[in-house]
Chains A and B, each alone.
Chain A
Amino acid sequence: MTTGRRRWLGCVPERPRRTLRRWSSVRSKEICVACGLVALLIADSRWLSRLPKLSTPTAGGQLVRFILTLFLSVLFAAARGSLRGALGLDPRGSLVSTYFQRNALVVGFVMGFAVIPIIYTIAEDALTAVPSALRSASLACGASRWQTATRVILPIAIPGIFSAIMVGLGRAAGETMIVLMAAGNTPVLEMNIFGGLRALSANITVELPAAVKDGTLYRVLFLAALTLFAMTFCINTVAELVRQRFRKRAVQL
């Protein structure tokens, strides 16, 4: 207990207890396999539908299933990590050249989550705008729901989904704080996705107080702002143009 607390407070961690360590190294493989199997079984709805008790498609049941799957995947990831640690297969330094804890990959994930609501709402509009008569026509031909979605609904809604992605991209390009926090605030960018970065907008905010008026840095920062504006402007214009075209086509149906 005290060990854990000290660790949490940032003290030098003690070596983990022997039993725990042995357990984790010996059992982790079995844990992996078991967790993977359970996660697969839970995710496979066909298997689930044979269980009459679990297959009820209520919101609560689905929530429980989601949380259970989430928990199991975290467990699975932890087990895999401990297995890799036990076998000494750390990709950092060998497979991945330099590794920063705050890196471009992390910011990619976090920004992805941040723009989900924007993309989701616009894409949902595009999908629901597809007339339901087409959906029933496709189902009546004997298509499954998945075939209906990929062959009929998606081709009609694709411009709307594209414009949703563009708007999300424009939003992500202008994002400051998330990138600043999660990407390690490293001004020099490299191709390695495990390296840090600093976004244009973050760069402007961070360096503007240090810039001398009419100095080189000052001008460069203004250039950066102009670039950022041009980028966002272009992305949003393209998104809007596509959306307009999509609307025209939707009216035709």
Chain B
Amino acid sequence: MRIVGEMRLNCDSIYAPEVDVIDLRKRMGMVFQKSNPFPMSIYEHVVYPLRIDGESRRRILDETVERCLKASALWDEVTDRLRGCALELSGGQQQRMCIARAIAADPEMLLMGEPCSALDPFATSRIEELIFSLRGEYTVLMVTHDMQQAARGSDYTAFMYLGRMIEYGPTKGLFVKPRLQETEDYITGRFG
């Protein structure tokens, strides 16, 4: 693998040799394509990032669970079974719970690798709503194959193809009037 250019998270280069990967992961929350809940209770699941930092004060844990589950629009659905197993939730609920886990550590930004590709349209719209509601608090970087999804909610869009950044700009500009022929071919579905 070869990397050209630089990536910065709030001015700190993330590929610098002295960067502590674990610290970096705490600053960037990650949501995966397939929801990956731990076989724990919903409560324990959400406070996991706090637990690994050694937090055990009841009050703080309770507050975090409530704040994160409310932020991920899951609180009303699971209030009565916080101690139940996280694996009993539906796919969309599991994915929202994973988002709750990602924001529990209070990261600076959220990375999402196709968070909706394994979900049905209804669950997808719930997740999208959730992501849009988080936009004021976190920078969300989402990867998607769904052109409409990218156009719907994002402020900026980057078109990447085979590991190369082709075009980057404000979403409106990129979808309405792309600068490159390649981008236009891709968004109109004439690619390849």
Contact = CB atoms under 8 A, between A and B. Distances in A.
B38 A134 contact: yes
A138 interface: yes
A98 interface: no
A141 B34 contact: no
Interface size bracket, A side: 20 to 34
B51 A151 contact: yes
Contacts of A138: 38, 48
Nearest to A144: B22
The list of the 8 closest CB pairs from A to B, nearest first, reads: A142-B26, A140-B30, A133-B36, A137-B36, A142-B25, A141-B49, A143-B52, A147-B52
Interface string A119-135: 00000000000010110
Interface of A: 131, 133-134, 136-144, 147, 151-152, 155-156, 249, 252-253
27 contacts: A133-B32, A133-B34, A134-B38, A137-B32, A138-B38, A139-B25, A140-B25, A140-B30, A140-B32, A140-B102, A141-B26, A141-B48, A141-B101, A141-B102, A141-B105, A142-B22, A142-B25, A142-B26, A142-B53, A143-B22, A143-B49, A143-B52, A144-B22, A155-B39, A249-B39, A252-B39, A252-B87
B42 interface: no
A137 to B, nearest CB: 4
Contacts of B25: 139-142
A141 B51 CA distance: 11
A156 B32 contact: no
Contacts, number: 56
Nearest to A150: B52
Contact of B39 (A139, A141, A147, A253): A253
Nearest to A152: B38
A151 B52 contact: yes
B73 interface: no
Interface residues of B, number: 22
Interface in B85-104: 87, 98, 101-102
A116 to B, nearest CB: 29
Interface in B117-144: none
Interface string B27-56: 001101010111100000000110111000
Nearest to B107: A142
Chain A binding surface, main DSSP class: helix
Contact of A134 (B22, B23, B36): B36
Contacts of B38: 134, 137-138, 152
Nearest to B37: A137
A149 B39 CA distance: 14
A143 B26 CA distance: 8
Contacts of A249: 39
A139 B25 CA distance: 8
A155 B29 CA distance: 24
A246 to B, nearest CB: 12
Contacts of B36: 131, 133-134, 136-137
Contacts of A137: 32, 36-38, 98, 101
A137 B95 CA distance: 12
A139 B87 CA distance: 19
A253 B87 contact: yes
A60 B29 CA distance: 37
A100 B87 CA distance: 56
B52 A156 contact: no
Given A134-B36, A141-B26, A151-B52, 12 more contacts: A133-B32, A133-B36, A136-B32, A137-B32, A137-B101, A142-B22, A142-B49, A142-B53, A143-B52, A144-B52, A151-B51, A155-B39
Interface centre among B29, B52, B87, B105 (most CB of A within 10 A): B52
A66 B161 CA distance: 46
